[in-house]
Amino acid sequence: MKRTWIVAAVVVALGSTLPATANEWLQEGGEREEALDLVPDLENGLSVYEVCSGCHLPEGWGTPDGTFPQLAGQHTSVLIKQLADIREGNRDNPTMYPFALPRTIGDAQALADVVAYIEKLPMNPANGQGPWEEGAPEFELGKKLYADNCVRCHGDTGEGMPDKYYPRIQGQHYKYMLRQFEWIRDGKRRNANPEMVEQIQKFSDTDMSAVINYVSRIPVPAEDLAESVDWMNPDFD
């Protein structure tokens, strides 16, 4: 299967107007619950992922500059929720919206298929990290902020909680997390967990940078990483 790159013209063809839908953290019913109950087809998941690979790369690693997040290794429940939220208008993402629509990638079964494929991809062994190494005052501040504010939901090592839709944040790119954290704090990400919004309301920009720097440097278990930074997804050869 050849590497597929989606051209910008597709965005124009499909349109990028988002529906106006009231936000809820976890709406009852809908595609999220439907997709979670389905048995995934990994072969179809690969086919669907061709659409995603144009931005998130065949490896699912996104870009260290934070333009696109790493998806590889993320919990299926988290991925399904975010896709469903984008499709239903609960999360604003004009760039991704046309590519996530049912007419582009398929129905709830397609969601179940593609996220199952993504979750099994090995993660980038060199994710984009923040500027401060262990021992720096900013690193130590971030470590303390994480322990005081984030462990309860994201876990000691950023592993998340799939049953509660808390994402795995270990191995995620610093600049992507920094942008999302700021949007959540400032009320710009409409599908954010209200408990997190409240928890981080008093974070200064310095606090935000420090804690995200710490998270970006949490080691990912070796068994979840690709063998090297040069690894290429063989499904796209």
Q: How confident is the model at residue 9 (pLDDT cuts 50, 70, 90)?
A: very low
- Where does the pLDDT of residue 28 fall: very low under 50, low under 70, confident under 90, or very high at 90 and above? confident
Mean pLDDT of 151-180: 98
CA distance 153 to 5: 36
Can you read off the two tokens belonging to residue 93? 């993402």
**% of the chain at pLDDT higher than 70:** 90
Given a contact cutoff of 8 angstroms between Cβ atoms, the answer to whether 131 and 213 are in contact is yes
End-to-end CA distance of the chain: 6
Residue listed under structure tokens 């950023």: 158
Res 202 pLDDT > 50: yes
Please tell me the pTM assigned to this model: 0.89
pLDDT of res. 29:
79
* Cα 73 to Cα 71: distance, rounded to the nearest angstrom: 6
Q: For residues 142 and 135, is the Cβ–Cβ distance under 8 A?
A: no
User: What b/e string do you get for 55-85 counting C-beta neighbours within 10 Å, with b at 16 or more?
Assistant: bbbbbbbbbbebebbbbbbbbbbbbbbbbbb
pLDDT of 185 higher than 50: yes
In order, the DSSP letters of 26-67 are: S-SSHHHHHHHTSPP-HHHHHHHHHHHHHHH-TTS---TTSS
Task: Look at the domain 137-224 and name its fold.
Answer: Cytochrome Bc1 Complex; Chain D, domain 2 (1.10.760)
Both tokens assigned to 104: 């582009």
> What is the pLDDT at residue 105?
96
> Which residue shows structure tokens 């090995």?
122
Domain ranges of the chain: 30-121, 137-224
Local confidence band at 27 (pLDDT 50, 70, 90 cut-offs): confident
pLDDT of residue 34: 96
Q: Which CATH class is domain 30-121?
A: mainly alpha
**pLDDT of 42-65, one tens digit each?**
999 999 999 999 999 999 999 999
**pLDDT, mean of residues 16-32:** 61
Residue 3 reports pLDDT greater than 90: no
